[in-house]
Amino acid sequence: TNDAAVYLNSYTVSDVGTSEFPLAGQIYVQNLNVEQVKARIQEVLDEYLKETVLIVKLVNFNVTVLGEVRRPGQYKVYQSEINIFEALSMSGDLTEFAKRSDIRIVRQTKSGSEIITVDLERADILSSDYYYLKPNDIIYVEPLKIKQYGFATFPYALVFSSVSTALLLINFFK
């Protein structure tokens, strides 16, 4: 099948968790995974059609990237999955003040919000449950301590040139 056709022939889920399908009508799909949505639609369609073939895919979802990245914000993902590196890349990559060992992922679960810390400097991130992002995940990139204390923008050159100018003037007028 053509990937563009999937996006053109897709159905959105409303704010109240329903989606409108031909023949099937309005079906409640909120908080269901892709397989559960497929089963629910298939069940309704089987009443009207015989031997239907139904393909259900997640067409798009949002991830939010905040903190020490070049372009923080919410991003739409138009593929079935995205990993943490791809999401950070969408946001323009990490800044020079990003703490690569302290990246937080906030994920909504049935029991509430879950916050996990991942270390991008470790190879085991590739096998982590948090390598691939889920719909509505929030990535927060912690700043390095040097930025928190303001040393990154401290005008060292101005201070040193002022001190050296003062010493030069003192020696000149002695």
- pLDDT of the residue at 22: 82
For residues 31 and 109, the answer to whether their CB atoms sit within 8 Å is: no
Please tell me the CATH code under which domain 61-143 is placed. 3.10.560.10
Say what the alpha-carbon torsion angle 71, 74, 140, 147 is, to the nearest 10 degrees. Answer: 30
Statement: the pTM of the whole predicted model exceeds 0.75? no
**pLDDT tens for each residue of the chain, 174 residues long:** 455 565 567 888 888 889 998 888 899 988 888 899 999 999 988 888 888 888 888 878 899 999 999 999 999 998 878 999 999 999 999 999 999 999 999 998 888 999 999 999 999 999 999 999 999 999 999 999 876 555 555 666 667 778 888 888 888 887
For residues 85 and 65, the answer to whether their CB atoms sit within 8 Å is: no
Domain ranges of the chain: 3-45, 61-143
- pLDDT of the residue at 103: 98
- pLDDT of the residue at 3: 57
Instruction: With residue 113 as reference, give the H or E element that holds it.
Output: strand 112-118
Tell me the CA distances in angstroms from 170 to 105, 157, 159, 163, 173, one per residue in order: 56, 20, 17, 11, 5
| Residue of 56, 31, 35 lying closest to 109 (CA atoms) | 31
